[in-house]
Structure formats: C-alpha cells, structure tokens
A and B are shown apart, each in its own frame.
Chain A
Amino acid sequence: MSFTTDQNGYYGNYGGAYIPEMLHQNIQQLQNNYEKIIKMSSFQEAYRKLLNDYAGRPSPLYFATRLSDKYGCKIYLKREDLNHTGSHKINNTLGQILVAKQMGKKRIIAETGAGQHGVATATVCALMDLECVVYMGALDVKRQAPNVARMKMLGAKVITANSGSQTLKDATNEAIRDWINNPEDTYYLIGSVVGPHPYPDMVAHFQSIISEELQQQLIKKEGIKNPHRILACIGGGSNAAGIYYHYLKNKKVQLIAAEAAGKGIDSGESAATSILGRDGIIHGSKTLLMQTSDGQITEPYSISAGLDYPGIGPMHAHLIKEKRLDVYPITDIEALEAAMELTSLEGIIPALESAHALGILPKLEIEKDEIIVISLSGRGDKDMEAYQKYFKYAKKHPHEDLEKSFLFVP
C-alpha cells in the first residue's frame, strides 16, 4: 500500500486538483517544477543550511522525565516549539520560499489560522526581500493578536477575512481568490498539507525533516529507530505529516492523531473532521470534510485557531480510511488541562494546538517501557490570553462542571 501521491496527486481516493481554470497555469507550473527544484543539489544545500543555521535544527528530542513518570512509560517530546518563529511551520516556509524564488515569483501570499504559518511566511519573506500578504480570519486576528503584531513588524500586510466563520477556512478562500486575481507574479505559500496537488505532497516533504531527525535521535538515545507510538495534532495536518512521514510504511509504529472536539463531538461546535466528515471537496482537494447533507461546508469550532478547520489533509484522510491512523477527539477543556499538566511537570508551555496531542495521553492504555513520541509543534506564547481566562474560570468552578460547561468562552 502506498501512502504517497500518484502522478495525478491522489492518495488512494483523496487529493487531486479540483481548481477553477483560472488557477490551472499556476498549479501546473508548480506541479511540473517542484520535484525538479527540490532535487537540485543547490536547492538542497541552501535548504539544509537555512534549516540548521537559521531555524535552529535539528530540534531537540527531549526525554520528559516527570511526564513519563506520571504515565509510567518513556515519553519524548519532539521540540518543534524551539524552532525559530516558535513552531514547525518554518520547515515548510523555508522550503517553499526557495521554490518560489527559483520560479522567479515576486509576491508571496499565505493563509494563516493561529498565525504561526503567517509569522513563518512573513519571516522568510523578510529574509528573502519579497513582498508578503497574509490572509487571516477576523476571529483569529482577535484571538492571536501577538502573532498579528509579529507579522506586521516583519513587514507583512495582514488582510482580515470577514466571510464565513472568519477563521482558517475563510482565510484560505481569500488567499485563493487573491491568487486568481494575481496569476503572474504571485506565489501562494500554503501552510498545511491541504489544497490542490502538489501542495499536500510538497508540504509533507518539507515537514518530513521532523521524522528524519527523530529516527536518528531515537537511535542515539534508545538504540532503536522506532517508537511504539507517535502522537500529533491535526488541523490540516502538517506537523503530523512531518512526524509520521518516515514511519508511514512501518506498521509496528502506531500513529495517533488528536483532532479538535471543541465543546464536544455532539455539541455542534467542534472541528472533529474524521468523525463528523464525509468525502467532499475543499480548497481544491478531495478529502474528508465537515458539511451539511446538501454539501455546504460547515463552520467549524475549536479553542485552537490552528485546528479550527472543517477539512483534513488528503494524506490523513487516506491514512484514516486505510486504518493506518487512529484519531482521538480532544475537547477544549481536555487540551487546556493537558497544557497545564505539561507546564507544571516540565516547565514547557505548549501551543493550544500541541496541547491537543498531549491530551491523548490520559486516554491511552499504556504499557510499561513503552516509548511514546509527541510532536510538540509549537509554543504557547501566542495563547496566553486563552490560558489566563481558563485559569480564572477553573478556579471558580469544580472540575465536573468544567467538563460539561458551555459557559467557558475563550
């Protein structure tokens, strides 16, 4: 079984390029060139150099002693939060900005949810002296204000998307419309393993540095290449794609994903695509998608702006269908509690997105000596406002109320 794309950009039944004719030339140009560019030795040299000297790779594989003690196993954190700009997103933006330069593009556009991809894009644009425009949903502009400020300081123009749920989905729509309006000089730098082929494959490729390093680091620390389980959060799914990548064919390694259950699967306010989604088309790709019976895309909800997306990358949809990936829905409250747990045990404040991956731990039946690797995809600086609100609220309300509560609005 294959977990990579075929020549038309499909993972099994998922993926492809369902794009209006206006985007055909741009997409085809990218399809025809990206593999060639990535394979060039000059590209590889420049990319690796930037990853090491600029982004600070390899990211540490940290043995979390106290967290391990609590769960009675060996837990390692892959510290993508320590990268320059504070998340795994920089791995992809560094790769794609080199592709864009090679293709002679002058203007970069991007979408962002939590703002991490927006910041990572604004950063590489400053580095390469390219014009940068970032689309961000109005709700996300509010709840991730520190990242908006960072993008602006980095010289990017941040355009607010006011349509729909005013989150990542709508920011992506606006970015695609910008690309239709500016087909010649503009490069669309997508931040996740979503969108039309070749984006899912290209972004997964750039993020695969995570599992490449992980294999080597585990050999050094444990004398083995394979952990028992790998945990990651999925919105579109780029950090998950990266940390799974070199393990996809190795079925001895259990791959587990957290998706945002928001206020609960049945609450009508979640982004639990694998459970609530059906096959459909979003942002140019056939994948699992939350939608009405009539095919209107549903407005998702999650406390985490980075997971607040009604779709999922086509690679992950395929992994789920083939039962290669197990998905756990994690609610807002579970994620917040997991964030608090990591902070108090290890002195690491995770991003709300990564907190969802940590939220899987209490749900697993864990055997002693088991090795679990968790993708700590980003740091929590941007989420302090949500965390503070939660602590204030949690102090006044007993735990049982909290679990059921719809009153807590971050």
Chain B
Amino acid sequence: MKSITDILKSRNLLSIYLTAGFPTVERTIEILTEIEDYGVDFVELGMPFSDPLADGETIQQSSVTAIRNGMTLANYFEVLKIVRERTDLPIVYMGYLNQIMQYGAEAFCKKCNELDIQNLIIPDLPIEVYEKEYKQLYKKYGLLMSFLITPTTPEERIRKIEALTTGFIYVVSSSSITGKKRKITKKQQRHYEKIRAMNLSKPTMIGFGIYDKETYEFACRYANGAIIGSEFIRYVAKENAAQFLTSLKS
C-alpha cells in the first residue's frame, strides 16, 4: 500500500475531491479505480452530508444526488472495500463530524484503519475539540489528521495547527466556500507567499477555487500541490472528467 506520508514529500501533487456516490455508486468505483492513470496522486473521497456548511452549490448538489443514491457511511466503507481490491490509490476521508458521531468514533476509526484510509479531513471539527476528544483515538488507529487554514487564520494559530497536523495542512485559497471560480488575485498571491515564507514543517496542499491548469500550477509554486473539488465534480457530471484531468498536466 502506498503511504500518503511518502507521497506528500513530493511536489506538484494533484489531488481531487469526489463525493462518494456521485453521480452513481458504480461510477464512483470506476473513477477511483482509473484515476491514477490520469496523474492524480491521491483522492479526497467525500462522505455526503445533508447540510455541508463549508460547501458551495456544486458539492451540495452532488451530495443530494449521492444521498439519494443510498450513500451511507456503511456503504461508503463497502465502496472502499471494492476499490481496495483494484487499486492502492491513497484515499483521504473527508466528511462532517455528525456522521462520525452517529457511526461511533471508535468504530469509524477501526473501519478506516481496516480499509487503509490514512488521512482524515473533518471541516467542522475544530482543533480544540480534536485535541481534547479525538487526538488519542486517531493516534491509536494510526489515522493522520489534516487541518484547514484560511486567509484569516493568524500566524500564531497557524503554528498551533502546524504542530497538531499529522497529515498535511490544507491551505484554503481565499475566504470563501468551495466552488467559487475566480481569477487569481493579488490578495491570494500574498496569502500564498505568507504561507510559503512561514516554512511550515508539514506538507501543504492548496484547495478551494482551483479549477484549471493556471490556478493549479500557480498553487503548486507555493505548496506541495493542489486539490480540485467542485470543478472536477462539474466535469464528472458532464462525463468528461478524463479530458479535464489530462488538460491539467498537458
């Protein structure tokens, strides 16, 4: 099995986000099986949630479809079981805290461990609660944790997040929810430069608002790589995701 920690030592990494069960459960399995051939280094597989606060319309809509397709956390793990027989692509779990609570935190960790999910992103789990309630548990099951930082996160807090990060630091590109397509701004560049200048001891991945070759390559100059979510989902919906991925590295 490929170790995500090893992968995160490289640069120009390409990660994509996909909502599990979108557009269908079968298609999710196919995409995960084939995606490495298109230069994707690892995937964030999203567990759809009814009320995803940090997400824009594209991911919201894909979540509605996925839930309608019967995606539950139990089915999510079933999908992974099938995928694991076909590929050792590193997969990051991304999902909101409520579902983990309902599944049972320890049962969830056990399953992740079994299916070789090495890394978690839980956007509504603040570091303070993580430290108090989840850190020991995740450690026990060898699960790495990635946290978000944003343009409004002060330096002192970034250092705290750096210390707690066991996976990578998810650098949110601008103050926004997911899926906003904008030209690269001066403000954004300053934000990237600030993060790079901090010389963080943990790998960094830039995400939110990465949607084409230009925004991807620009982000790669400042971090280990970039994550594409909403735009990838838009292309999956249009059935030309392969073409999109190829265009990024052409």
Contacts and interface: CB of A to CB of B under 8 A. Distances in A.
Interface string A261-282: 0000000000000000011111
B124 A20 contact: yes
Given A284-B124, A297-B51, A25 B98 contact: no
Contacts of A16: 129
A295 interface: yes
B53 A296 contact: no
A183 interface: yes
Interface size class of A (residues with CB under 8 A): 35 or more
B187 to A, nearest CB: 11
A16 B54 CA distance: 18
Contact of B153 (A8, A25, A283): A25
Contacts of A164: 50-51
Interface in A287-308: 289, 291, 293-297
Contacts of B180: 181
A24 B124 CA distance: 10
B22 interface: no
Interface string B146-179: 0111101110010000000000000010011100
B60 interface: yes
A389 interface: no
A308 to B, nearest CB: 15
A22 B97 contact: no
Interface residues of B, number: 38
Contact of B54 (A20, A280, A281): A20
A296 to B, nearest CB: 4
Nearest to A178: B177
B142 interface: no
A21 B102 contact: no
B101 A294 contact: no
Interface in B114-141: 123-126, 128-129
Nearest to A180: B177
Contact of A22 (B100, B102, B175): B175
B241 interface: no
A182 B151 CA distance: 12
Interface in B62-84: 67, 72-74
Nearest to A25: B152
Contacts of A17: 126
A338 to B, nearest CB: 32
Contact of B67 (A163, A280, A296): A296
A203 interface: no
A163 B102 contact: no
Given A19-B126, A282-B51, A295 B150 contact: no
A176 interface: yes
B49 interface: yes
B148 A293 contact: no
Contacts of A280: 98, 101-102
B103 interface: yes
Interface of A: 8, 16-22, 24-26, 163-164, 169, 173, 176-177, 180-184, 278-284, 289, 291, 293-297
Interface of B: 49-51, 53-54, 56, 60, 67, 72-74, 96-103, 123-126, 128-129, 147-150, 152-154, 157, 172, 175-177, 180
Given A18-B129, A21-B149, A295-B98, 11 more contacts: A21-B150, A21-B153, A22-B150, A24-B150, A25-B154, A163-B60, A183-B175, A184-B175, A293-B102, A294-B103, A296-B49
19 contacts: A18-B97, A19-B126, A21-B148, A21-B149, A21-B172, A22-B177, A25-B153, A180-B53, A180-B54, A183-B175, A184-B175, A281-B124, A282-B51, A284-B53, A294-B72, A294-B73, A295-B73, A295-B98, A296-B67
